[in-house]
């Protein structure tokens, strides 16, 4: 439907940034097989991460439960993957976005701003499923969306979010990066809903002029589980904004540039956005998959720590022989994961490089999701705290430059251990983590991770069949609601640990 004439802003041009986003979202043709293949990998990884969250975290499982029994049986609602719930479109977007992000195990993209583009899948899949169910219920003439639509929206949401992240540091002005999830998802949900370009611009203008989350919940001393559902919150808001515009609400054409009241003057220190490359398919082709459960800037640190642990074991040494640990890292890691003092919850621990590294050294193996939880023995182990106290992090300016260099884009960490007798072990440096596009084994590792996570809720055969289905040549043509049906549990489900399909 069009906007009411009394509120039609079509004669006023929208800010260039808003127009660029919508022209890309509506008009760009995705013509590279690499992008489509990576999108399928991203979808599998995100759904697997969602399953892992509700399996491993009772906190997350409780959060997504319906407040009232009837809330979980919305007839035309979104069938929430990994559960028997069918919920309204807004709760569906919130729940799936939160499930994907909750354990910090979904994919990531670095830049001046670090973010997680797969957060957008919560909005995209929930909206596409509800649209498709409604169309299917209307009879043969209903336009059911396909998984090709979902993959296209995924690729473009990744691109919008990632291109903003390259040069624009929202963290420097105290804002959380999920603002970009809200913007990207609003654009792509508008497209899925069939809004006109002018309506889509209006919706995106609302995304920019919303109140925006402070980054306080990602930083000490307030780091907590909200950072796990902030992406879901952005997904929910994106869907709501698109629906409001669909119902006739007008936008604000100069939401960014209006003097005194616009986004730039109020929230971005009067600086316009820097978009250093045109929107294409570059982000999905370069996104980093988290094969190991570690905050992105610490992924190479835990890999280096594991090498050191194995070398120490070969020499008959234990963590008690360690006198000090020195970590050379990036500026971003110093800002985000250099934690001092007590760690109060799992979300606090997974944003602490010293904790991750200490667990790897004491465990002699890679840190896993369970190792961050309150019930983990490592969470209360005095040896972990001793090693944290002995660990010093310093910025290596070359690491920081390479991190921001578009031709290098490394996430380097270098670890050196000094023993009690004064011996310095060889420093171990890792530049690119497993899951990086430069590692040829990345697709196989991500597929294996997805199978493991899907098997937390389904039998192994079904998990493997789902992976084959997504990778198959006919997947793009599959109706969204039929695919989502395959991800739902058939039995009545009360607690996530109690049921499987």
Residue 443 lies in a domain: no
Report the C-alpha gap between 193 and 468 in whole angstroms.
Answer: 29
Residues 322 and 243 in one domain: no
* Residue 12, pLDDT score: 86
pLDDT in tens, 101-138: 999 999 999 999 989 999 999 999 999 999 999 999 88
**Domain count for the chain:** 2
* Domain edge (last residue) among 386, 406, 430: 430
Of 189, 193, 237, which is closest to residue 91 (Cα–Cα)? 237
> What are the tokens at 169?
């540091």
Report the C-alpha gap between 247 and 7 in whole angstroms.
Answer: 12
Q: In the predicted model, is pLDDT for residue 429 greater than 80? A: yes
Report the C-alpha gap between 14 and 245 in whole angstroms.
Answer: 15
| Torsion sign, CA atoms 181, 186, 192, 198 | negative
> What are the tokens at 41?
């990998």
User: Which residue range forms the structural domain that includes residue 243?
Assistant: 5-270
Residue 25 lies in a domain: yes
Residues 414 and 340 in one domain: yes
pLDDT in tens, 156-183: 999 999 999 999 999 999 999 999 999 9
DSSP 215: G
Residue 411 lies in a domain: yes
> What are the tokens at 341?
């003092």
* Residue 76, pLDDT score: 83
Report the C-alpha gap between 349 and 326 in whole angstroms.
Answer: 19
Distances (CA, A) of 56 to 20, 119, 370, 454: 40, 19, 7, 13
Residue 486 lies in a domain: no
* Domain edge (last residue) among 368, 398, 430: 430
Global pTM? 0.89
Report the C-alpha gap between 374 and 424 in whole angstroms.
Answer: 34
Of 106, 95, 108, 88, which is closest to residue 60 (Cα–Cα)? 95
Could you tell me the CATH number of the domain that includes residue 407? Answer: 3.30.1330.120
Residues 215 and 319 in one domain: no
86-87 and 78-79 beta bridge pairing: antiparallel
Residues 216 and 261 in one domain: yes
Q: What mean pLDDT comes out for the span 438-453? A: 96
* Residue 497, pLDDT score: 38
CB-hemisphere CA count at 13 Å for 230? 25
Residue 100 lies in a domain: yes
Q: In the predicted model, is pLDDT for residue 207 greater than 90? A: yes
Report the C-alpha gap between 127 and 140 in whole angstroms.
Answer: 20
Q: Which helix (H) or strand (E) holds 75?
A: none
Residues 300 and 265 in one domain: no
* Residue 2, pLDDT score: 42
* Residue 9, pLDDT score: 59
Pairwise pLDDT comparison (221 vs 257), residue with the higher score:
257
Residues 257 and 313 in one domain: no
φ/ψ (deg, to 5) at 482: -70, -40
Alpha carbon 158 to its chain centroid, in Å, reads 10
Residues 227 and 314 in one domain: no
322-329 and 86-87 beta bridge pairing: unpaired
Contact assessment for residue 120 and residue 183, using Cβ atoms and an 8 Å cutoff: no
pLDDT in tens, 368-397: 989 999 999 999 999 999 999 999 999 999
* Domain edge (last residue) among 415, 430, 445: 430
CA angle 174, 180, 186 (to 5 degrees): 140
Of 497, 330, 304, which is closest to residue 408 (Cα–Cα)? 330
Look over the chain and give the mean of its residue pLDDT values, rounded to a whole number. 93
As to burial, measured by CB atoms within 10 angstroms (0-12 exposed, 13-18 middle, 19+ buried), residue 20 is middle
Q: How confident is the model at residue 142 (pLDDT cuts 50, 70, 90)?
A: confident
Could you tell me the CATH number of the domain that includes residue 175? Answer: 1.10.4100.10
> What are the tokens at 292?
């190991």
Q: In the predicted model, is pLDDT for residue 83 greater than 60? A: yes
Of 321, 363, 357, 318, which is closest to residue 339 (Cα–Cα)? 357
pLDDT in tens, 263-272: 999 999 889 9
Q: In the predicted model, is pLDDT for residue 275 greater than 50? A: yes
Residue 466 lies in a domain: no
Question: In percent, how much of the chain has pLDDT > 70?
Answer: 95
* Residue 8, pLDDT score: 55
Q: How confident is the model at residue 417 (pLDDT cuts 50, 70, 90)?
A: very high
Q: In the predicted model, is pLDDT for residue 3 greater than 50? A: no
Report the C-alpha gap between 140 and 487 in whole angstroms.
Answer: 24
Q: What mean pLDDT comes out for the span 176-192? A: 98
* Residue 437, pLDDT score: 93
Report the C-alpha gap between 436 and 300 in whole angstroms.
Answer: 11
| Torsion sign, CA atoms 496, 497, 499, 501 | positive
Residue 475 lies in a domain: no
Residues 28 and 163 in one domain: yes
Residues 113 and 241 in one domain: yes
CA angle 78, 79, 80 (to 5 degrees): 100
Residues 129 and 222 in one domain: yes
Q: Which helix (H) or strand (E) holds 470?
A: helix 460-471
> What are the tokens at 312?
């120490």
Q: In the predicted model, is pLDDT for residue 495 greater than 60? A: no
As to burial, measured by CB atoms within 10 angstroms (0-12 exposed, 13-18 middle, 19+ buried), residue 11 is exposed
Distances (CA, A) of 14 to 184, 199, 201, 205: 17, 11, 7, 8
Residue 200 lies in a domain: yes
Q: How confident is the model at residue 500 (pLDDT cuts 50, 70, 90)?
A: very low
Q: What Rg, from alpha-carbon coordinates, does the chain have? A: 23
Residues 256 and 312 in one domain: no
Residues 221 and 344 in one domain: no
pLDDT in tens, 348-368: 999 999 999 999 999 999 999
Contact assessment for residue 180 and residue 124, using Cβ atoms and an 8 Å cutoff: no
């Amino acid at each position: 439907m069009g906007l009411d004439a009394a509120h039609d802003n079509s004669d006023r041009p929208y800010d260039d940034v808003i127009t660029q986003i919508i022209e890309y979202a509506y008009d760009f043709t995705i013509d590279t097989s690499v992008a489509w293949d990576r999108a399928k990998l991203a979808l599998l990884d995100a759904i697997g991460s969602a399953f892992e969250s509700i399996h491993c975290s009772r906190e997350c499982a409780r959060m997504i439960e319906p407040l009232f029994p009837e809330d979980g049986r919305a007839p035309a609602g979104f069938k929430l993957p990994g559960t028997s719930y069918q919920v309204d479109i807004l709760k569906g977007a919130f729940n799936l976005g939160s499930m994907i992000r909750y354990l910090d195990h979904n994919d990531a993209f670095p830049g001046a701003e670090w973010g997680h583009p797969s957060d957008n899948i919560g909005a995209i899949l929930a909206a596409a499923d509800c649209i498709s169910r409604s169309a299917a219920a209307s009879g043969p003439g209903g336009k059911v969306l396909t998984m090709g639509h979902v993959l296209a929206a995924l690729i473009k949401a990744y691109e919008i979010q990632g291109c903003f992240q390259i040069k624009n540091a929202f963290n420097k002005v105290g804002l959380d990066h999920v603002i970009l999830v809200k913007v990207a998802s609003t654009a792509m949900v508008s497209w899925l809903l069939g809004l006109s370009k002018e309506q889509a611009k209006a919706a995106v203008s609302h995304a920019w002029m919303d109140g925006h989350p402070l980054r306080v919940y990602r930083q000490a001393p307030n780091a907590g589980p909200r950072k796990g559902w902030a992406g879901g919150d952005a997904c929910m808001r994106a869907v709501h904004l698109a629906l409001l515009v669909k119902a006739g609400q007008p936008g604000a054409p100069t939401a960014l540039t209006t003097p005194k009241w616009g986004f730039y003057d109020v929230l971005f220190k009067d600086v316009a956005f820097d978009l250093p490359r045109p929107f294409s398919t570059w982000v999905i082709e370069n996104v980093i998959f988290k094969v190991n459960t570690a905050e992105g800037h610490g992924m190479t640190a835990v890999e280096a720590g594991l090498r050191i642990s194995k070398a120490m074991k070969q020499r008959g040494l234990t963590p008690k022989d360690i006198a000090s640990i020195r970590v050379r890292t990036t500026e971003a890691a110093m800002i985000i994961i250099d934690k001092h003092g007590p760690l109060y919850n799992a979300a606090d621990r997974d944003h602490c490089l010293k904790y991750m590294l200490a667990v790897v050294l004491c465990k002699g193996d890679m840190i896993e999701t369970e190792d961050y939880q309150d019930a983990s023995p490592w969470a209360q182990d005095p040896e972990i705290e001793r090693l944290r106290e002995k660990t010093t992090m310093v910025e290596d300016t070359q690491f920081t430059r390479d991190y921001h260099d578009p031709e290098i884009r490394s996430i380097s960490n270098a670890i050196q251990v000094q023993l009690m007798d004064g011996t310095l072990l060889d420093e171990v440096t890792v530049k690119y983590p497993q899951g990086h596009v430069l590692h040829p084994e990345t697709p196989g590792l991500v597929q294996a991770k997805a199978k493991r996570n899907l098997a937390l809720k389904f039998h192994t055969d079904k998990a493997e069949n789902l992976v084959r289905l997504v990778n198959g040549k006919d997947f793009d043509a599959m109706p969204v609601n039929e695919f989502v049906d395959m991800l739902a549990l058939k039995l009545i489900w009360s607690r996530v640990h109690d049921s499987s399909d």
